[in-house]
Homo-oligomer: A and B are copies of this chain.
């Protein structure tokens, strides 16, 4: 295990090794032009016809011989007796070399009178104006676009030869459950191969996904032999590390050669590049985000070497909202939620845990921390790569602070109106500090002051002199959640699960302990900190603790008893000027909507009397 990390390969070297060790010649496949969208030409494509094939009239009028029109003028009109009446797009008959617009002639029974000589080829679309027979339409390795399809069809092509790359993917792991099968504790539903398959298709490769293979070197060997035989290259998901149950490297070295084991990027260190016959085998790490990183940073480039066009990386420059220390010597990829705040881009780092798949869903961008860097300072500018269309970043609304499940519904309603809400759960104080640094649009907060008022005093203290506004999401019941209806006064007799420092719930707990003269050190589990109401409720449901303080909604979701302790104001804090922003209007309209109030009533534990009300601080 240790040994592996002594000879880690850099990502750049890993890609170089792939380019140099393999020929990567794609096979070709002839497809109908009409279904060739997004495919890549295998060779140059030439026109079957000259278009137009013959001279066509560009006007409604008469085809004439210019010789007959010589000398015609207002003073000396000329009567044309040899002409053909034609419309736009009609063939100009052989022998005729110009078209006179119908508006410019006077018809008589034995011909047309004109008052102006015609120039040769006037109002004629010459043969071959668009393209000549045998002319090249498209070169090799061109990705076919809709307008290319139109041209290919118009120029007489029915079929087109395109390149084809066949990728196989084998998921491995004895703890894995198939998609659709019921999940048992300690198991995981195999999802990496489905994500990888989608990425391969997105880049234009044909993908064959094989069934899940148990952790057994013989099964894995059989699967890899089949996969290599049936495809141009092979992906093996999981088992790429060096643990007792990681067989991928060992099997590859039996069937061929391990070129790289371990790449110095985070996440995704335990990746493998192998060679069996003349074909590449890539060992993908088991953690979802690590697997994704290798697909994006190594497998997509590999497809590019074949001539395919993987999705292009669009970048922009953003301020990173949180410091990101990162060991030098390792290239780290960090997922981000980015948005435009006051005309500059801000990006909030997501959880860096390689197992937290939701951070990939929440991310609309990512950044690379160079292996030569020690990390990123708060507010430092960095290039970020988009994981969504740019207009979705421009329409993003960043919420950072205290979490409540009801914000998900606000996000859903805003999404329908074209605003994407990204929530970052750092507790009320964390939100207020993010707001102070202009690193979010709104900060959800429920901080109780000694005078019994919520939020205003904290805002005045931490953002003095600023024009601030609070919009009420709801008045919310906080209470003690438990399986047996434990009351606040009984907390010292039970194990407890707490919320993190700076969270409104934690402030409320400490405030009430003080009021009731109770001693936090007597509460076992007081030091166990959770980041959300739902985590607290889940911990109690799972029996890790007997009691905890959370919202009624969280208690209900996990079917716990709930003893109310207090009703608090859960509000979004913003700079007053933010109200003028279109995104803010959409979010506030969602909060004020009857539909949202109905949802709150349905969940329970919310008083909606003040929902949507603004308070200026």
| B355 pairs with A129, CB closer than 8 A | yes
Chain A, interface size category, equals: 35 or more
**Interface 9-mer from A73-81, A107-115, A135-143:** A135-143
A128→B403 CA distance, assembly (Å): 15
Q: From residue A395, how far is it (CB to closest CB) to chain B in Å?
A: 11
Q: Of B94, B146, B153, which one neighbours A199 at CB under 8 angstroms?
A: B146
Q: In the complex the two chains form, what is the Cα distance from A65 to B318 in whole Å?
A: 45
Least CB distance, A146 to chain B, in whole angstroms: 4
The 0/1 profile, CB within 8 Å of B marked 1, for residues 521-559 of chain A is 000010110101011001100111000000000000110
Cβ of A389 under 8 Å from chain B? yes
Residues of chain B with a CB closer than 8 A to A567's CB = none
* Nearest neighbor of A542 in chain B, beta-carbon distance: B127
Q: Is the CB of A154 within 8 A of B357?
A: yes
**Bound form: Cα–Cα A597–B132 in Å:** 23
Chain B residue contacts of A201, Cβ below 8 A? 37
CA–CA, A598 to B126, complex, Å? 33
Write out the residue numbers on chain B whose beta carbons fall within 8 Å of the beta carbon of A535: 126, 128, 132
Q: Which residue of B lies closest to A184 (CB)?
A: B53
Candidate in A154, A180, A557 with the most chain B CB atoms within 10 angstroms: A154
Given contacts A53-B183, A120-B528, A128-B534, whether A195 and B408 have CB atoms under 8 Å apart is no
Chain B, residue nearest A358 (CB): B131
Chain B residues in 8 Å Cβ range of A198:
34, 37, 145-146, 149-150
A419→B97 CA distance, assembly (Å)? 42
What residue of chain B has the Cβ atom nearest to residue A90's Cβ? B186
Q: Is the CB of B288 within 8 A of A150?
A: yes
Q: Is A68 an interface residue (CB 8 A)?
A: no
Partner of A179, one of B34, B125, B295: B34
| A387 within 8 Å of B (CB atoms) | yes
> Among the listed stretches A409-417, A512-520, A606-614, which one makes contact with chain B, having 4 or more residues with CB under 8 Å of it?
A409-417
Instruction: Give 10 CB contacts A-B under 8 Å.
Output: A33-B194, A52-B188, A56-B186, A129-B356, A130-B357, A133-B558, A147-B361, A150-B357, A312-B389, A314-B314
